[in-house]
A and B are shown apart, each in its own frame.
Chain A
């Protein structure tokens, strides 16, 4: 019978600091990928609502492909394909970490593009026209009328995406990025304690993601009340 408490008592001093150190890498990947996803998402939401059909088709194609691919497959494509297609270029800088951020960011960009588009389309055109007819400049109407309302619609799904992203960073271990999951594998197999180590890692992920999901729930309730 596996005595987890005893195993943890003996090993936690070695395991926990190391795992938490690599959890920092996980957080760094998540944060960088989140920023990239917001930028890519905004760009493609605008392209998707563009006046030019070509741009709309391109944006739709990107969104469908990036959302239709499993994240692991997208990570493999982003990390392994470009260096092979363009072997003449210098790929020294393209580390696993960069590949992970770009891959997750491109996937998130497609998800957020749809979220942002829904946010933009939910607002009636009249809002902006009313603001302008009251004498606001376009910038003012954006800052005081459009954005505050759009934020309210967009914030909960964006926060939910962020929680999913935090968990999805675990997939970066599969392209060899040294984050918490990869480190857990090496500890688990070196110490012959897979159950204890992976349960501990699950607990660490839970501690990182659960406060976020509680915050999202509070946020959703607040935004609903004030509407």
Chain B
């Protein structure tokens, strides 16, 4: 059967099967995004902390997680953790792995955003009697958000694309189903091209959104 004949005969079957993996892809992407957004903020605040030890720890964390591939980090968590008595499920390993990895990148985005706000803002808040954390929460972060939103959106796109590696630790998402379909039908061409199209339908609109946010941000300045 040629490619076109096969696509005509089995196209819908392939598409519907692959879309069946979409919820798992979305859960991994959203779960690790939330994980990274929260944990990354903690790392960024430690990084900016006046205590040397804390900021040094945060730097070590950021450098290590940005200096090694996400795939290796996933393998350490999924295959390595059982050696120290923890056995994460594939989904937990994927969310924690991509989340820890993403936190390192987000920490740098947060830091750049926080540093873009004039120090006088923080000092004014402190002189009004706010604690440093309150000042961050009510004065600095809301203003920094405008600067941070475009890079955070770009980060979310990268994260979504990174979910395509979590089949390697056993999460049954789009790519895992694609590999199963290839074993089943022996037609890798149709399967991977459809899988690719599904990813493009998610990433291209997000990229448009990121570009629009960036233009708006520049218009503000």
Which of A74, A80, A206, A210 touches B189 (beta carbons < 8 Å)?
A80
Task: Encode B158-178 as 1/0 by CB contact (under 8 A) with A.
Answer: 000111110010000001001
Report whether A194 and B162 are in contact in the complex, using a CB–CB cutoff of 8 Å.
no
* Category for how many chain B residues contact A: 35 or more
Report whether A72 and B165 are in contact in the complex, using a CB–CB cutoff of 8 Å.
yes
Please give, as numbers and ranges, the residues of chain A lying within 8 Å of B64 by CB-CB distance: 202, 206
Report whether B200 and A167 are in contact in the complex, using a CB–CB cutoff of 8 Å.
no
Task: Encode A147-179 as 1/0 by CB contact (under 8 A) with B.
Answer: 000000000000000000001101101100000
Of residues 171 through 227 on chain A, the ones whose CB sits less than 8 Å from some CB of chain B are 171, 173-174, 181, 184-185, 188, 193-196, 198-199, 201-202, 205-206, 209-210, 213
- Inter-chain CA distance A195–B67, complex, in Å, is 18
User: Quick one: closest B residue to A74, CB to CB?
Assistant: B196
B192 CB–A CB distance under 8 Å: yes
Which of A65, A80, A173, A195 touches B80 (beta carbons < 8 Å)?
A195
B3 CB–A CB distance under 8 Å: yes
Of residues 66 through 86 on chain A, the ones whose CB sits less than 8 Å from some CB of chain B are 67-74, 76-77, 80-81, 84-85
Q: Known A194-B79, A195-B81; judge A81-B193 contact (CB<8 A).
A: yes
Please give, as numbers and ranges, the residues of chain B lying within 8 Å of A77 by CB-CB distance: 192-193, 196
Please give, as numbers and ranges, the residues of chain B lying within 8 Å of A206 by CB-CB distance: 64, 67-68
Report whether B162 and A70 are in contact in the complex, using a CB–CB cutoff of 8 Å.
yes
- Inter-chain CA distance A80–B182, complex, in Å, is 10
Please give, as numbers and ranges, the residues of chain A lying within 8 Å of B178 by CB-CB distance: 76
Report whether B81 and A167 are in contact in the complex, using a CB–CB cutoff of 8 Å.
no
Report whether B196 and A69 are in contact in the complex, using a CB–CB cutoff of 8 Å.
yes
Which of B3, B68, B175, B204 touches A68 (beta carbons < 8 Å)?
B204
B69 CB–A CB distance under 8 Å: yes
* Category for how many chain A residues contact B: 35 or more
Report whether A84 and B195 are in contact in the complex, using a CB–CB cutoff of 8 Å.
no
B83 CB–A CB distance under 8 Å: yes
- Within the complex, the shortest CB–CB distance from B135 to chain A, in Å, comes to 30
Please give, as numbers and ranges, the residues of chain A lying within 8 Å of B219 by CB-CB distance: none
Report whether A171 and B189 are in contact in the complex, using a CB–CB cutoff of 8 Å.
no
User: Quick one: closest A residue to B74, CB to CB?
Assistant: A198
A64 CB–B CB distance under 8 Å: yes
- Within the complex, the shortest CB–CB distance from B163 to chain A, in Å, comes to 8
A1 CB–B CB distance under 8 Å: yes
B75 CB–A CB distance under 8 Å: yes
B-binding residues in A (CB < 8 A) = 1-2, 64-65, 67-74, 76-77, 80-81, 84-85, 167-168, 170-171, 173-174, 181, 184-185, 188, 193-196, 198-199, 201-202, 205-206, 209-210, 213
